[in-house]
Structure 1
Amino acid sequence: MTIAPVAAVENAAPASAASSGSAGVAVRRGPGRPRDTDLDPQIIRAVLELIDAEQEVTVSRVVERGGVSRAALYRRWPSLTSLIAAALDVGRTVPPEIPVDGDLREALFTAIIGSPTSIDASGYSEARFRQRIRLVMADRELQRAYWSSHVSRRRGPVERALGAGIARGILRADLDVEAAFDAIAGAAYYQLIVRGEPIESPAAQRRLTAAFDITWRGMLAS
C-alpha cells in the first residue's frame, strides 16, 4: 500500500499537496476556519470503507468517498499515515486499571488472556484485524505511528500492575515490565498470526495458560 502525505502545508494548493514528500510530513496549521469535528467520523468512515474493500488509501479516494474537501483533511491529520492509524483504532478502548490489592497473578491473567476483551483483536471483526496486520506489516512508518499513537497507551494498565507487583515484593525488582508484557501478549499473537488458530479454541487457551505460567514463574521474586 502506498501512503502519500495528507499535506505539507494546510493552505497549499491541492495539486502540490498531492505530490509532496513523505507520509510523515507535518501540517503547519495557520489562521483560518476552525476545525469542524462533525466531519471527523465521516472521514474515518471513508478510510475504513477503503481498507475493508482492500483498496489503496489515498487522499483523492478519501476525499471522493467521504464527500469532504482536501482542506478538511489537511486541518485534521498531519499525514495520511496518522489518519490511517486513527481509522485502524476505531472500536478499540484503553482497558480499565487492573486491581492490584488481591491475587495479582489471577488479575493479570484475566486482563491479558482470560477475558473476552483481553486479546488485542477485541473490538474488531477477524477480517478487520487481519487487514490491520497486513497494513502495518507492509508499511513500517504506519506501524510506528499506530504503535506510538494507539497501541502503547493500551499497555498502561498491565505495565502499571506489573510495577505494583514489584513494589509489593511479589515480582522481582529487576523485572523489565515492557519485556514481560511482550512475552505474554506475544504468545497470543503467535496463535492468531502464525498458527492461524482462533484464540478461544481449547488448544490455544491451553498453550496461552502454559505460556503465562512459564512467564509468571520467571517474574516472581526469589
Structure 2
Amino acid sequence: MSLTIFLLLLIISLSLIFNQQIKDYLVGSYHPEISQTKINSNTKKSGNFNFKKVKSLDLQMIAKARAKKNALHVVGAISIPAIKMNLPIAKGVDNYTLALAAGTMRDDQKMGQGNYPLAGHHMNSHKILFSPLYWKSKVGQKIYLTDLKKVYEYKTTEKTYIAATRVDVVENTPGQNIITLVTCDATGEGRLMVRGKLVKKMAYKEAPKSVQNNFAKSFKNK
C-alpha cells in the first residue's frame, strides 16, 4: 500500500470516528456578527418555508453552511438558560439555516405577537441546536427571544409529541402571544412540540445581565 493511499484511508477513518465531534464544533462555534440594523434588513428578506425539503443533518451540510457566510438571514436569538440552549434565529427553514440556527416557520411572524414558531434539528449530541430542548426541557422553564431591540420572556406551558402532519401548530394565534418550538422525535417520524406563553417584554438594555450574556453566546452583539 502506498503512503498516499494509507494517508487517505487514515483521514477517512478519522473523519468517521470523529464525525459527531466535528459537527458539534462547526455548529457550536457559529457566532455571526450581527447588529440591530442588520436584523431589520434580514427581516425584510425572503425565506424558504418549504418544510418538505428539509433534509437530515450531516457533516457535509454543516460544512457547506459554514462556508456560505451569507446564506443565513439572522433575525435574532433564542435562549433557554435552564437547559443552556443559546442559538441564533434565522429566517426560514432551508437546510443551511437549520444546520446552524433555529429557523422561523412563517414569513409574517413577529416576536411577542401571536404565535412565534421556530424549528430546529435534534441530534445525538445533547448540546447543539434543539437537542437540549428534546433532552432537558420542562414545563415552567423560561424562554427568551431578542431582536436586539427588545427581549421577550416566555414561560414554558406545554411539552408534547405530535404528528409530523400537524402544520396547524405553526399558524398564527391573534390575541394569544405564544412561542412554539418544534423538533424531531427520537424516531424522526414524529415531532416534539414545546410551547410557552409571553410573560413580559423589556428593552434589551434593561434585560438582566445574565440574559444579555446568554445572548452574547449566540452572536457578537455589535
TM-score, normalized by the shorter chain, greater than 0.5: no
Relative to its length, the structure with more strand (as a share) is 2
Q: TM-score by structure 2 length?
A: 0.28
Q: TM-score by structure 1 length?
A: 0.28
- Ranked by relative contact order (alpha carbons within 8 Å, sequence separation 6 or more), the top structure is 2
User: Larger Cα Rg: Structure 1 or Structure 2?
Assistant: 1
